[in-house]
Structure 1
Amino acid sequence: MEQKLPNALQNINEIYELSGDKKAVLFLDYDGTLTPIVSDPEEAKLPGKTRSALEQLSKIINVAVISGRDRKDILSFIDINTLFYAGSHGFDISGPDGMEMQYEEGKKTLPSLDKAEEKLKEKLKNIKGSQLERKKYAIAVHYRNVQEEKVDELKSIVEEVLQSDEKLKKGSGKKILELKPNLNWHKGKALQWLMKELELSKEEYMPIFIGDDITDEDALKAIKDYGVGILVGSHDQETHATYQLKDTTEVVEFLQKLQQRLTK
Structure 2
Amino acid sequence: MYRGMKIPAVAALAFVLTRVSLASPGYWAHDCDGNYTVPSSYQKSLEQLSAGLPDAVSSSPDLFDKKVLGSWGSRVYGLGRCRPGTDASTCKACLDEAFQEAQVICPLRKRVYMYYEVCTLAFADEDLPSHSAVHKVATKVNGSQVPAQCSKVFDMAINELITYLVKMAAVSPHMSATGQKELAGGACTYSIYGLAECFPKMSAANCSDCLEDLLVVPFLHGHQSEWRSSLTCSYRLEPRPLFDVGKGGLATPGGKNGKKQVWIVVGCVAGALIILLVLLLLWWKLPAKRPSAIKFFDDIIANVQGKTIVMFLDYDGTLTPIVKKPERAFMSEQTRNAVRELAMAFSTSVVTGRSCEKAKGFIQLDELHYAGSHGQDIQLNDGTDPFQPNSEYLQIIAEATERLKEAVREIKGASVENNKFCVSVHYREVRREKDKDLLKNIVMRIVTEEFPNLKVTNGKKVREVRPGPKFDKGDAVKYLLQQLTNKHSWDSSRILPIYIGDDKTDEDAFKVLSEEGGFGIRVCKWRKRTAAEYSLKNPSEVKEFLEKLVRWRREQDQV
Please tell me whether the aligned partners of residues 131 and 141 of structure 1 are also in contact (alpha carbons under 8 angstroms).
Answer: yes
2:532 aligned to which of 233, 241, 249: 241
Partner residue in 2 for 1:232: 523
What pairs with 1:22-33 in structure 2 (closer than 5 Å)? 22-33=307-318
Please tell me whether the aligned partners of residues 82 and 95 of structure 1 are also in contact (alpha carbons under 8 angstroms).
Answer: no
Q: Which runs of 4+ in 1 moved over 3 A?
A: 234-237
Establish whether residue 102 from structure 1 lines up as the match of residue 387 from structure 2: yes
The CA RMSD measured in Å over matched residues stands at: 1.7
Partner Cα separation in structure 2 for residue 234 and residue 73 of structure 1:
27
Identity of counterpart residues, as a percentage? 39
Partner Cα separation in structure 1 for residue 533 and residue 492 of structure 2:
18
Please tell me whether the aligned partners of residues 342 and 348 of structure 2 are also in contact (alpha carbons under 8 angstroms).
Answer: yes
SS of 1:93's partner is strand
Partner residue in 2 for 1:131: 415
Instruction: Report deviation, 1:44.
Output: 0.8
The 10-residue stretch of structure 1 (151-160 or 230-239) with the greater mean CA deviation from structure 2: 230-239
Establish whether residue 218 from structure 1 lines up as the match of residue 508 from structure 2: yes
Instruction: Report deviation, 1:108.
Output: 1.6
Please tell me whether the aligned partners of residues 132 and 140 of structure 1 are also in contact (alpha carbons under 8 angstroms).
Answer: yes
Instruction: Report deviation, 1:96.
Output: 1.9
Establish whether residue 15 from structure 1 lines up as the match of residue 300 from structure 2: yes
Establish whether residue 89 from structure 1 lines up as the match of residue 370 from structure 2: no
Instruction: Report deviation, 1:81.
Output: 1.0
Give a deviation string over 1:74-110, Cα, whole Å, max 9, x none: 0111111111111001111112221332323x12222
Partner Cα separation in structure 2 for residue 212 and residue 21 of structure 1:
29
Partner residue in 1 for 2:495: 205
Establish whether residue 193 from structure 1 lines up as the match of residue 479 from structure 2: yes
Query: Kindly tell me: are residues 236 and 117 of structure 1, through their superposed partners in 2, closer, same or farther at Cα, counting changes over 3 Å?
Result: farther
One-letter identity of the residue aligned with 1:87: G
Please tell me whether the aligned partners of residues 213 and 234 of structure 1 are also in contact (alpha carbons under 8 angstroms).
Answer: no
Partner residue in 1 for 2:291: 6
Give a deviation string over 1:1-37, Cα, whole Å, max 9, x none: 5971100000011111122310211000000000000
Partner residue in 2 for 1:141: 425
Partner Cα separation in structure 1 for residue 302 and residue 527 of structure 2:
31
Establish whether residue 71 from structure 1 lines up as the match of residue 356 from structure 2: yes
Partner residue in 1 for 2:455: 169
SS of 1:19's partner is coil
SS of 2:548's partner is helix
Compare relative contact order (CA 8 Å, sep 6+) and give the higher one, 1 or 2: 1
Instruction: Report deviation, 1:49.
Output: 1.3
One-letter identity of the residue aligned with 1:4: K
Decide which structure has the larger Cα Rg and report it.
2
The 10-residue stretch of structure 1 (106-115 or 55-64) with the greater mean CA deviation from structure 2: 106-115
One-letter identity of the residue aligned with 1:25: V
Structure 1 unpaired stretches of 5+ = none
Partner Cα separation in structure 1 for residue 343 and residue 290 of structure 2:
27
Partner Cα separation in structure 2 for residue 116 and residue 25 of structure 1:
35
Structure 2 unpaired stretches of 5+ = 1-133, 136-287
Partner Cα separation in structure 2 for residue 71 and residue 37 of structure 1:
18
Give a deviation string over 1:238-262, Cα, whole Å, max 9, x none: 3100000011110000000000001
One-letter identity of the residue aligned with 2:509: A
TM-score (norm 1): 0.95
One-letter identity of the residue aligned with 1:60: A
Partner Cα separation in structure 2 for residue 187 and residue 162 of structure 1:
22
Partner Cα separation in structure 2 for residue 100 and residue 128 of structure 1:
40
Please tell me whether the aligned partners of residues 139 and 179 of structure 1 are also in contact (alpha carbons under 8 angstroms).
Answer: yes
Give a deviation string over 1:152-209, Cα, whole Å, max 9, x none: 1000100011102221011111100000001110111111101101115541210000
Partner residue in 2 for 1:180: 466
Aligned length: 263
Partner Cα separation in structure 2 for residue 50 and residue 169 of structure 1:
34
Query: Kindly tell me: are residues 103 and 201 of structure 1, through their superposed partners in 2, closer, same or farther at Cα, counting changes over 3 Å?
Result: farther
Please tell me whether the aligned partners of residues 398 and 420 of structure 2 are also in contact (alpha carbons under 8 angstroms).
Answer: no
Query: Kindly tell me: are residues 189 and 235 of structure 1, through their superposed partners in 2, closer, same or farther at Cα, counting changes over 3 Å?
Result: farther
Partner residue in 1 for 2:395: 111
Instruction: Report deviation, 1:151.
Output: 0.5
One-letter identity of the residue aligned with 2:514: K
Instruction: Report deviation, 1:237.
Output: 6.2
The 10-residue stretch of structure 1 (133-142 or 115-124) with the greater mean CA deviation from structure 2: 115-124
Please tell me whether the aligned partners of residues 195 and 201 of structure 1 are also in contact (alpha carbons under 8 angstroms).
Answer: no
One-letter identity of the residue aligned with 1:227: G
Partner Cα separation in structure 2 for residue 185 and residue 85 of structure 1:
15
Instruction: Report deviation, 1:235.
Output: 8.1
Give a deviation string over 1:102-134, Cα, whole Å, max 9, x none: 323x12222322222222121111000001001
